């Protein structure tokens, strides 16, 4: 089965419709397509071809959107690099992905000193060659690759295909409904599945995207007040900041605004109730990088009576609880459907992404008697800090590399601002200050992964199999 090139098809169908706005500038789909084709010609001049693996490091702005759409035209695989990572973390991903080409936003080039990336400004000066875009795409073609940490502490490169993204977009539309006037406020990073999936929905739906470089509560509150957008994606911490801005400035929310999708972990019920005071429907979602965005979403009609639920599976998907016999039985959440990744790349290329057709998420939850999913824990050891997933094993691995550290254990500590932050417990083999440990981590980890507190202890709690008991660490807090 083949798909038509989404950008070409969208330009043919509704090329005059608003596709993207940023600040005081706006582009139709036809205008974006023209610019993407020109950029694709420059990529082709550099030797980028169908099947090439291209790594890119960029903040969220229109130039990045044009680059991504150009890659869709060329037919290459795009490795999305997270701008918040350290140089060492980025170096690992570049080596693991074996990228054929590396491109970077000029402002971020310093994070890739050894990769010698081609800067966006340099790419713009290259003379484009004659180029024929991919008119059709194989459904199994890999469009994007995103790295997500695993329980081993080593990030895994997750493949996301055309079928993955298309099924995610269509299933979300069947749940939310779409109209020609829809405009999605995107303040989440485009290199995350949360942001990239908004671009994919834009092409499939013919929907406009109002892009912001980052989340700023005041700017977002104005967008909702003026009625310039209809949808928005948030996590708990950004939702609370937005509500605080609306409350403190006594702003109303336009009737044009339809719904807010909340991911990145459970949202406190109090936030949802505060949002209702402004007429904002906050819809809990559940998904991950391996499922190309959400797999379950709470429909607007059920939001009030199922507060705290992540909803039912989107139309094309199935969800079950491993080992559950009756409704309410807890267990690991398993997911099946065309949005689930076909596999990984690099070091994890031999690891299957599915078992008997099901993705084993590692998350714990239950289905109620009506089939609504409730997520109890975003993996037993996972720390969700401001919507970012933080795996303790990755931090423990870094700490263990310090010559004064014998062993380390990390768990999540509640935080009013970020929901959770990492806390570290360290057994030493020689004297070292906690300030030095903090500096050691800061050099090797993204800021949100650096433990906010360090405790020196005599030993760590372990079970009979010598497995670290991180849940016990939480009781020590």
Tokens describing residue 336: 């099946």
Alpha-helical regions (H) of 287-433? 392-400
Task: Find, among 201, 210, 204, 275, the residue nearest to 245 by Cα.
Answer: 275
C-alpha 286/C-alpha 317 separation (Å) is 12
Q: Domain 383-476 belongs to what architecture?
A: 2-Layer Sandwich (3.30)
3-class SS string, 126-138: CCCCCCCCCCEEE
pLDDT of residue 331: 86
Give the three-class secondary structure for 474: helix
Q: Which fold has domain 175-377?
A: Rossmann fold (3.40.50)
C-alpha 358/C-alpha 380 separation (Å) is 19
Could you tell me if 285 and 313 are in contact, meaning their C-beta atoms sit under 8 angstroms apart? no
> What does the DSSP assignment read for 321-356?
ETT--STT--EEEEEESTTS---EEGGGTTS-S-BT
Same-fold call for 2-138 versus 175-377: yes
In DSSP terms, 360 is beta-bridged to 334
Tokens describing residue 133: 């875009």
DSSP H or E stretch at residue 183: strand 183-186
C-alpha 265/C-alpha 236 separation (Å) is 7
Give the three-class secondary structure for 160: strand
Characterize the bridge pairing of strands 259-262 and 53-57. Answer: unpaired
In DSSP terms, 335 is beta-bridged to 319, 359
pLDDT of residue 464: 44
DSSP H or E stretch at residue 34: helix 29-45
pLDDT of residue 462: 79
In DSSP terms, 319 is beta-bridged to 335
What angle do helix axes 217-226 and 236-248 make, rounded to 10 degrees?
Answer: 70
Tokens describing residue 412: 């999540």
Cα distance between the two ends of the chain? 54
Characterize the bridge pairing of strands 208-211 and 18-22. Answer: parallel
C-alpha 440/C-alpha 380 separation (Å) is 26
C-alpha 409/C-alpha 470 separation (Å) is 7
Give the three-class secondary structure for 29: helix
In DSSP terms, 333 is beta-bridged to 321
CA angle centred on 97, ends 93 and 103, rounded to 5°: 75
pLDDT of residue 70: 98
C-alpha 203/C-alpha 75 separation (Å) is 16
pLDDT along the chain (477 residues), means of 10: 95 98 98 98 97 97 98 97 90 95 94 86 96 93 88 81 97 90 96 95 98 96 98 90 95 96 79 91 92 89 82 94 94 95 95 93 91 80 86 85 90 92 94 95 95 95 68 90
C-alpha 138/C-alpha 150 separation (Å) is 29
Q: How many CA atoms lie within 13 A of 182 on its CB side?
A: 21
C-alpha 213/C-alpha 94 separation (Å) is 24
Output Rg (C-alpha) for the chain, integer angstroms.
22
C-alpha 148/C-alpha 199 separation (Å) is 20
pLDDT of residue 143: 98
Give the three-class secondary structure for 79: strand
pTM here?
0.85
The yes/no answer on whether domain 2-138 falls in CATH 3.40.50.980 is yes
Tokens describing residue 106: 């000029």
DSSP H or E stretch at residue 44: helix 29-45
Domain boundaries, the chain: 2-138, 175-377, 383-476
Tokens describing residue 246: 């609306």
CA angle centred on 249, ends 248 and 252, rounded to 5°: 110
């Amino acid at each position: 089965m083949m798909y038509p090139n989404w950008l070409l098809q969208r330009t043919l169908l509704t090329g005059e419709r608003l596709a993207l706005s940023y600040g005081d500038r706006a582009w139709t789909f036809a205008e974006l397509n023209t610019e993407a084709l020109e950029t694709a010609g420059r990529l082709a001049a550099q030797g980028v071809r169908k099947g090439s693996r291209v790594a890119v490091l960029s903040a969220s702005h229109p130039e990045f959107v044009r680059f991504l759409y150009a890659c869709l035209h060329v037919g290459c695989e795009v490795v999305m690099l997270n701008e918040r990572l350290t140089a060492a973390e980025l170096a690992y991903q570049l080596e693991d992905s074996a990228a054929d080409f590396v491109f970077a936003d000029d402002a971020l080039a310093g994070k890739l000193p050894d990769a010698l990336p081609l800067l966006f400004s340099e790419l713009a000066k290259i003379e484009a060659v004659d180029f024929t875009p991919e008119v059709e795409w194989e459904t199994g073609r890999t469009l994007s690759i995103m790295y997500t940490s695993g329980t081993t502490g080593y990030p895994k490169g997750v493949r996301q295909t055309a079928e993955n993204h298309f099924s995610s977009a269509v299933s979300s539309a069947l749940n939310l409904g779409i109209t020609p006037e829809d405009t999605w406020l995107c303040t989440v990073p485009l290199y995350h599945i949360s942001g990239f999936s908004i671009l994919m929905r834009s092409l499939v739906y013919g929907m406009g995207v109002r892009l912001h470089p980052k989340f700023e509560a005041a700017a977002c509150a104005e967008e909702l007040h003026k009625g310039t957008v209809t949808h928005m994606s948030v996590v708990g911490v950004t939702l609370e900041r937005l509500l605080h801005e609306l409350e403190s400035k006594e702003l109303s929310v336009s009737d044009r605004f339809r719904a807010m999708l909340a991911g990145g972990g459970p949202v406190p019920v109090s936030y949802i109730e505060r949002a209702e005071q402004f007429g904002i429907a906050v819809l809990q979602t559940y998904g991950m990088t391996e499922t190309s965005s959400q797999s379950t979403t709470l429909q607007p009609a059920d939001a009030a009576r199922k507060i705290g639920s992540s909803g039912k599976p989107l139309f094309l998907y199935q969800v079950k609880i491993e080992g559950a016999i009756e409704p309410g039985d807890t267990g690991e959440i398993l997911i099946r459907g065309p949005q689930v990744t076909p596999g990984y790349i690099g070091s994890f290329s031999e690891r299957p992404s599915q078992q008997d057709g099901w993705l084993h998420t590692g998350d714990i939850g239950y289905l109620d008697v009506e089939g609504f999913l409730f997520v109890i824990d975003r993996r037993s050891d996972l720390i969700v800090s401001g919507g970012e997933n933080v795996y303790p094993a990755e931090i423990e691995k870094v700490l263990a590399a310090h010559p004064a550290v014998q062993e380390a254990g990390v768990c999540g500590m509640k935080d009013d601002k970020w929901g959770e932050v990492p806390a570290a417990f360290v057994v030493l083999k020689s004297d070292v200050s906690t300030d030095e440990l903090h500096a050691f981590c800061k050099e090797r980890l993204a800021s949100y992964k650096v433990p906010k507190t360090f405790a020196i202890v005599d030993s760590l709690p372990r079970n009979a199999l010598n497995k670290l008991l991180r849940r016990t660490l939480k009781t020590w807090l």
